[in-house]
Amino acid sequence: MTHEVKLMKRIGILTSGGDAPGMNAAVRAVARKAMHEGLEVYGINYGFAGLVAGDIFKMNEATVGDKIQRGGTMLYSARYPEFANEEGQLKGIEQLKKFGIEALVVIGGDGSYHGALALTRHGYNAVGLPGTIDNDIPFTDFTIGFDTAVNTVLEAVDRLRDTAASHERTFVVEVMGRGAGDIALWAGVAGGAEDVIIPEHDFDVAAVAKKLQSSRERGQKHAVILLAEGVMHAEEFSKALGEYGDFQLRSTVLGHVVRGGSPTARDRVLASQMGSYAVELLLQGKGALAIGIQNNKLTTHDITDLFDSKHQADLSLYTLADELSF
């Protein structure tokens, strides 16, 4: 969606939904690129809730200094389902008018994109950046925070394997990923997991048990299984698996620890590229666009296209994990 190009003076930035490592790098890139182009930049705290409440402040170069390496989001985040209603949207627009903000960059996931689309339809161009560790946004190979999350899980898996080997145990490691198993899948391949259980692929507990038993017969007495939370809880899976044999099972839920930590170089670069590109799009008078990266090139898609599509896991990695884990 493109509105008539006019001389723009002020833009806003907000982060919404779950935090993701690299959000601060994206905020920094948006702010500094905008300032480089002669724009004033306003930070909006607590996402759409803060927008409606008017929790808005003017940023300068120093505001985003010493932030690129920090996890979480300096603008904080909050879920605000009320923004799905026009009443909430109009309250937010009142605040935009009050502060003279003419366009926004929204960093977050699916819910954040709905808000960006609504604002554009009300005449305020908004561009969405994919900030979510789950990597569950369509039309982008990677989301901001995913690479860091995978590396955090991988470090934990490497440590757990040490104790699994020492005690000849099987660890079922539950990681975030309600509707998308990318974190489990990528960490499973990188960590040499004996099995990976994700929502996008059927599984058979009996087959998992058979694979573990075969490994034991060959002399490998320990194992690590990566489980996406969207399938079932680790304790539940362990209980089901335990009915097929004594595998010395232990369950570990990594939980929200996967969201935190300093972003990797890859996430920092990706966030910086996307943040700068978002400002360029707004300067061109464009809104209701979601930025992605495909085949290592920045792309844009109409936000509405994302709502009719679903992220597809790379199931060739699932096959690879299975072939290398026997």
Would the annotation count 287 as a binding residue? no
Would the annotation count 70 as a binding residue? no
Which residues, including other chains, have CB under 8 Å from residue 200's CB and lie 6 or more apart?
A: 180, 181, 312, 313, 315, 318
Would the annotation count 193 as a binding residue? yes
Catalytic choice (19, 55, 134, 195) = 134
Radius of gyration of the chain (CA): 22
Residues in the chain: 326
Would the annotation count 121 as a binding residue? no
DSSP string, 39-64: -EEEEETTHHHHHHHT-EEEE-GGGG
Would the annotation count 256 as a binding residue? yes
The span from the CA of 126 to the CA of 120, in Å, is: 6
Q: Is 134 a catalytic residue?
A: yes
Would the annotation count 208 as a binding residue? no
Would the annotation count 195 as a binding residue? no
Would the annotation count 144 as a binding residue? no
Kindly report the number of other CB atoms within 10 A of residue 186's CB atom. Answer: 24
Would the annotation count 209 as a binding residue? no
Question: How many whole angstroms from its chain centre is CA 131?
Answer: 5
Token representation of residue 134:
């789950």
Give me the active site residues, please: 134
**What are the binding residues?**
18, 28-32, 79-80, 109-112, 132-134, 161, 169, 176-178, 192-194, 218, 229, 250, 256-259
Annotated binding site for substrate: which residue ranges? Answer: 132-134, 169, 176-178, 229, 250, 256-259
Task: Extract the annotated binding site for ATP.
Answer: 18, 79-80, 109-112
Could you list the residues known to form a binding site for ADP, using ranges.
Answer: 28-32, 161, 192-194, 218
Which residues are annotated binding-site positions for Mg(2+)? 110
